[in-house]
Structure 1
Amino acid sequence: MELVCTGARRSRRRAVPAALAVGVVLLAAGCVPGTDGSGAAGAGTGAATAIPDPAKAGKTTLTVWDQEIRGGTNGELQQLNREFEKKYPNVRIKRTARSFTDLKTTLKLAVSGNNPPDVIQANQGYPDMVAFVRAGPLAPLDNYAGIYDWNTRYPGTLLGLNRVSADGNDFGRGRLYGISQTGEYIGLYYNKDLLKRAGLRPPRTWGEFTDGLARLEDRGELPTQFGNLDKYPAIHTFGALHDQLGAAAARDTVLGRGDGFDNAATKDAAATLADWAKRGYLPGGANGLGYDDAAKKFASGDGAYLLTGTWQLADLKKPMGDKLGIMPPPPAKAGGDPVTTGGQGLAWSITSRSRNPQVAAAYLDFITNAHAADVMTRHGVLPAVPAKAAAQVGPDSVDGQMIAGWRRLSAADGLVPYLDYATPTFYDTLSAALQGVISGKTSPDAFAVTMERDYCTSMRKQHERHTSAGTR
């Protein structure tokens, strides 16, 4: 079955600039300070024309909601919060940290309530950030981007992933609604000892990696540790598989200028994931195993590989030490360019009804500046824009491997945005459908049709909004 939504899709293609393709410019300078990339120069909260001084704000409580509960990101943020409070003794940070899933579930109610947080982390894309912009709970940050030079600190490609058009229709252009602390990519963690015992080495090609899965399973070892009870982990695993079959097309589709999901790449990636489950390359009952539990199992030696984000590195290296390695998923040919899902961590945003927007802006600048990048690096966290400490990390250490992978992916234009950015409902549709693929209840063809139906429905609604706006 093929669903056709070409006309609607074409209207959204024009909405996202081609420069948003995440690539070599990730580590380069971005736009001109004070501009938002869409002609809305100077748009923002309208409250600040010079760098705010939190010391002059009086006694202030800054309420912050985030999802940085893991060892490395939690540690660096705790340190930065203490430093901010020490620098500004009149400011108290009241922090609420929740898991990614819990934050997604509770944040909409929190920002629409009578006493919303001042600062939140909002997931990029249509399900969260765009929905918040349409509803009004987020403040545009373009004034602050100019004041603090965020537009030169960050490359335009990363800032683009935190932009939404003024009418709330388009993701990837328009006003700036957040900045991100961390860079991230879905990497291939490996247990050096298990690979060595199986006569394997870190794979140089994708084929070498997949051939090794069969060898590990034959030896009675679990090839790939994986837990999908939280549903989102399968989005990352499937995304990495999907990227191997057509990274450029996947990126274009997520950004609204591609040809959708009812295609060979989607079906083949789903078939590969289902085959891994059937062959025992993944744990039995993976849909019932928690993400964090799977990571702990891998750290204890259960599983040769773990395909997940760089945000797990700090938690894994503590128990594993020198046994742990990480690399981007290997390329199709030895020495080729790697590709994988990634970009940056959740955006840090200011709510539109914050009582302390200028203190909140100073806080965002503080936790993302060059000093913050060095703090992140020392905690085993990948900064979105690496600073001095990154150059001092040993190249053979697992931290050095992570940073080197980030640089290779950036230079190769090898980062593909997360698939759940694609539509307002895509996170729920994709995560539920992937559970069916893993359990064997959903065929690759049915999975592709489900994905395409959601995508086409969103494209049609997008087309209708643009048409309606054009007739007013």
Structure 2
Amino acid sequence: MRVYFEAQNNCQVERTTRPLEDTKAAVMTAVRSGKGADVILSNNGETMMGPLVRGGYLLPLDAYAEQYGWTERLFSPDLLTRNRYTADGKVFGKGNLYAISSSGEIVGVFYNKQIFEKIGVSVPKSLAEFEAALEKIKAAGETPLTFGNLDRWPVFHVYGEIEHALISEYEGREYLDKMIMNWADDVSWESQSTIEGAKIIQDWVKKEYFTPGFAGIGYDDSVQLFAAGKGAMMIAGSWIMGVLNESPLEFGFFPFPPVDPAKGMALQVGGVRTPYGINAASANADLAAKFLNDVMLSEKTQKMFVEAEILPGAVPVDLSMLQEGTLYYDIMKAWNDVNETNTVGHYLDWATPTFFDTLAVASQEMLAFKLTPEEFAAKLQADYEKWLKEKP
């Protein structure tokens, strides 16, 4: 891609790579001195984008978005809001577009086709059918859900999918957006969906639907267990697809089912991959925007995404390029569907700068029955209220 762009635009592209955890300090140090790359990594929310916007270090991209048609050609409308901030940098998810992502990701349900066929389980269309499938699989002597939570965060996705389905039924997507992005004071984590979701996942623990000893199993190990056939389903992100494709077993994928299928697809945990913005001090902003556009939307890039099995930002994906019945086809079809219906939800740990740790500890205690669902919700709400007082 770099060589192609250089040849087409008579320029030189210099790329600097470093671990994500080191990027924030390097970028902030550079831009504060009026330096830095033309195109800079600008991770969502308060991890990077908020401070960059408040410091005046990112160029608004709305004019380029109109020039290149990004709002029409990339993602669903709500996914694009993940890269927006108000001009003062105080409200996430609204205002100017300050960065853009080339790809995304979605959490859903991977399933072992051989186990489903052997037991006679079909892809469930509702939460009730999903729970009935768990019970049927358990009765047949198989592990219904492969799960490992030693790394603390995998439960965010399992619980998150349950809560997203319940939010879709009870409070609606605007409620979720307000909690995760807009930091509104008229929403609460002590909600029906939060509490009922905790009750459901605790019930799954009691009924032994998860991998035995899940609290001591690492995430990577759990993926390998699933790839080896140790479990009928696994709630996980699209990024495990590569591991599963190396297995001799056949796997499929479906979005987590809604409470009421008559109301359409439920919100699904997911989001955009790490976005990139343009340095406000750049002397090559137009060229930088053209580079971003080529990275996201050129035919060459789209072909690379398909070959690498990445979920592209350019949607809908042409499914005729893919082999129907494969795992990648299932995931891409789900990706098209959630973008078409604007049902990509959020990663819950984005809610506040400290929410990852709060949710991790509270989830572990809730799964171990050291917290009631109501106490679990109260801990999340306490973190949220603290942030409402401290936010910019």
TM-score band by shorter chain is 0.7 to 0.9
**TM-score, reference length from structure 2:** 0.83
* Offset at residue 317 of structure 1 (A): 2.2
- Partner in structure 2 of residue 263 of structure 1: 191
* Offset at residue 189 of structure 1 (A): 0.6
Task: Say whether the 8 Å CA contact 1:242–1:250 is kept in structure 2.
Answer: no
Structure 1 residues 388 and 441: CA distance shift in structure 2, 3 A: closer
Determine helix, strand or coil for the equivalent of 2:311: coil
Q: Percent identity, aligned pairs only?
A: 31
Determine helix, strand or coil for the equivalent of 2:106: strand
Residue 403 of structure 1 aligns with an amino acid whose one-letter code is: M
Identify which of 61, 65, 73 aligns with 1:153.
73
- Partner in structure 1 of residue 144 of structure 2: 223
Identify which of 314, 333, 343 aligns with 1:414.
343
The runs of 5 or more residues in structure 2 that have no matched partner are: none
- Partner in structure 2 of residue 442 of structure 1: 371
Identify which of 317, 325, 331 aligns with 2:258.
331
* Offset at residue 269 of structure 1 (A): 1.1
Matched, 1:109 2:25: yes
1:348-382 per-position Cα deviation (integer Å, ceiling 9, x unaligned): 23445668655543332222014223321232222
Task: Say whether the 8 Å CA contact 2:83–2:97 is kept in structure 1.
Answer: yes
Which runs of structure 2 are paired with 1:349-364 in the superposition (5 Å)? 349-352=277-280, 360-364=288-292
1:106-140 per-position Cα deviation (integer Å, ceiling 9, x unaligned): 33322223585654544423444224433555443
Task: Say whether the 8 Å CA contact 2:315–2:339 is kept in structure 1.
Answer: no
* Offset at residue 404 of structure 1 (A): 2.2
1:287-343 per-position Cα deviation (integer Å, ceiling 9, x unaligned): 44332332222112122111112233233223256x110111123345651212224
- Partner in structure 2 of residue 291 of structure 1: 219
Matched, 1:454 2:383: yes
Residue 254 of structure 1 aligns with an amino acid whose one-letter code is: I
Structure 1 residues 442 and 202: CA distance shift in structure 2, 3 A: same
* Offset at residue 454 of structure 1 (A): 1.8
Structure 1 residues 408 and 453: CA distance shift in structure 2, 3 A: same
Structure 1 residues 131 and 307: CA distance shift in structure 2, 3 A: farther
Task: Say whether the 8 Å CA contact 1:373–1:387 is kept in structure 2.
Answer: no
Identify which of 156, 159, 176 aligns with 1:250.
176
* Offset at residue 226 of structure 1 (A): 2.2
* Offset at residue 447 of structure 1 (A): 1.5
Task: Say whether the 8 Å CA contact 2:103–2:311 is kept in structure 1.
Answer: yes
Question: In angstroms, what is the RMSD of aligned CA positions?
Answer: 3.0
Structure 1 residues 386 and 262: CA distance shift in structure 2, 3 A: same
Distance 1:285 1:97 in 2: 36
Identify which of 176, 198, 204 aligns with 1:276.
204
Structure 1 residues 130 and 396: CA distance shift in structure 2, 3 A: same
Distance 1:300 1:353 in 2: 51
Distance 1:174 1:144 in 2: 15
* Offset at residue 443 of structure 1 (A): 2.9
Task: Say whether the 8 Å CA contact 1:189–1:307 is kept in structure 2.
Answer: yes
* Offset at residue 164 of structure 1 (A): 0.7
Paired residues, what number?
A: 378
**TM-score, reference length from structure 1:** 0.71
Matched, 1:239 2:160: yes
Structure 1 residues 202 and 85: CA distance shift in structure 2, 3 A: farther
Which runs of structure 2 are paired with 1:160-179 in the superposition (5 Å)? 160-179=81-100
* Offset at residue 426 of structure 1 (A): 2.3
* Offset at residue 95 of structure 1 (A): 4.9
